[in-house]
């Protein structure tokens, strides 16, 4: 499985960005797709996850109500729509894939490269 993240950039506080993760591989549809982020000097943290089948989702409390996650099953793309962005959302965002719906980073087997999101105040 290969994951390719895109969509990062610089945005002002209150603005929006959409991150995308293109997944390839025969077993992609059996996996759970997640987004994590790591801010400078901080540990990696869970952001959101979604099951390809059924669309069950999970969000970190810090992003609930502001971020949504969705899949384009035909294109094997997972989107993270980020609204009402705050400076504290600044981080490198990573997409990842796991066999189960979990918030634990070490249970994600496949990782994409990061994409930088910078939110200015």
Kindly report, residue by residue over 62-77, the tens digit of the pLDDT: 999 999 999 998 899 9
pLDDT confidence of residue 25: 87
pLDDT for 19-61, tens place per residue?
999 999 878 888 999 999 999 999 999 999 999 877 899 999 9
Partners of 32 in beta bridges:
51, 98
Token pair, residue 107, equals 């249970």
pLDDT for 80-107, tens place per residue?
999 999 999 999 999 999 999 999 999 9
Task: Give yes or no for a contact between 112 and 24, defined as CB atoms under 8 angstroms apart.
Answer: no
Please give the backbone phi and psi of residue 76, each rounded to the nearest 5 degrees, phi first. Answer: 55, 50
Cβ burial 83-114 (10 Å sphere, 16+ → b, else e): eebeeebbbbbbbbbbeebebebeebebbbeb
């Amino acid at each position: 499985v290969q994951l390719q993240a895109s969509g990062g950039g610089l945005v002002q506080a209150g603005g929006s960005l959409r991150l995308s993760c293109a997944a390839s591989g025969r077993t992609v549809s059996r996996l759970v797709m997640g987004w994590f982020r790591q801010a400078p000097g901080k540990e990696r943290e869970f952001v959101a996850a979604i099951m390809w089948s059924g669309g069950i989702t999970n969000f970190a409390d810090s992003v609930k109500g502001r971020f949504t996650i969705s899949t384009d099953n035909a294109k094997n793309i997972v989107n993270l729509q980020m609204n009402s962005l705050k400076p504290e959302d600044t981080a490198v965002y990573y997409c990842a894939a796991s066999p189960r719906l979990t918030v634990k980073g070490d249970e994600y087997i496949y990782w994409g490269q990061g994409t930088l999101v910078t939110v200015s105040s």
